[in-house]
Homo-oligomer: A and B are copies of this chain.
Amino acid sequence: MIIVMKPDAKKEQVEKLQEELIHEGMTVQLNEGVQCTVLGIIGDTQKLDYEALGMRDGVERVMRVQEPFKKSNRKFHNDDTVIHVGGVQIGGGTMTVMAGPCSVESAAQVTGIAKRVKKAGARLLRGGAYKPRTSPYAFQGLEKEGLEMLREAREATGLPIVSEIISPRHVEMFEMVVDVIQIGARNMQNFDLLKEVGKTQKPILLKRGLSSTIEEWLMSAEYIMSRGNNNVILCERGIRTFETYTRNTLDLSAVAAVKKLSHLPIIVDPSHGTGRREMVEPMAMAAVAAGADGLMIEVHNDPAKALSDGQQSLTPDQFDSVMEKVKKVSELMGKTL
């Protein structure tokens, strides 16, 4: 960590700061320049409060020389993390597609869709049982019953299941039922929940927050990993911008960025990312070309009647067609579907 003092910082301010840092167990190297004084801090700087330091009197700016994320950082773990779940591999040269309805509506519905998406090449089944909705008056999901339906669909198809968790009090239940626990965008900084799923060994699919930076996202992965669970899959699902034509703006450069910064696998959700059915195909293809390890796509047997997110869901037939194209781009990228 480097602390740049203001050009007009007083000698006492520098000394006081230096003392305190030494008191915290750091080694401080002082560089007095013509323009300003720069402190080089060596030690376990992770425990220092970056922001608080930057706001000390006389301090111009604090710069981390190292990224604040450690366990998720590629620098300290050069090999790609590969996650195995029920015979399916995520990361490490495969292209893994997760598909299914936004909300679980009935056992017949979800099993029916599961069979169709499996046939088209999907390797995991996604389905929401607990839905975080902006309005308390909107449909909140079938909850426990919905999880049960997903379990039935898994039995019928063998597809491992992914479902979103919304409460730390549900962790035990999810651990027993689902194969991959999803943390939704709105809970990306629900640190209490992150810590709790971090105590399990289940793969966690961590969606990026609506207006979070890549660094904040990796810090949330770090929360999970710091509790002992290294099985984190990142999922880009669009960020909030001023654009209104799409529901969110899918940030595909996040794929390339994450590949460089971290060893964790990253998948892309073009359904939520665009909110428009007709954009799922081009964005799925672009995501693969950008280097994603997988895709999460909404498929519904009757999108026009879907209880949530109907317009962004594909019909099974449309999904077949998208998968054919995704397959071709994946091959070009040297990835097996």
Contacts and interface: CB of A to CB of B under 8 A. Distances in A.
A104 interface: no
A268 to B, nearest CB: 10
A190 B188 CA distance: 10
Nearest to A102: B52
A184 B308 CA distance: 28
Number of copies: 4
A280 to B, nearest CB: 9
Contact of A4 (B2, B66, B138): B2
Chain A contact residues (Cβ within 8 angstroms of B): what range? 35 or more
Interface stretch (A76-84, A110-118, A144-152, A163-171): A163-171
Contacts of A245: 213-215, 257, 261
A40 interface: yes
A183 to B, nearest CB: 12
A282 B291 contact: yes
Given A34-B29, A166-B192, A211-B211, A52 B306 contact: yes
B304 A57 contact: yes
A285 B332 CA distance: 11
A4 to B, nearest CB: 6
Contacts of A132: 189, 191
Interface string A178-215: 00000000110111100100000000000000111111
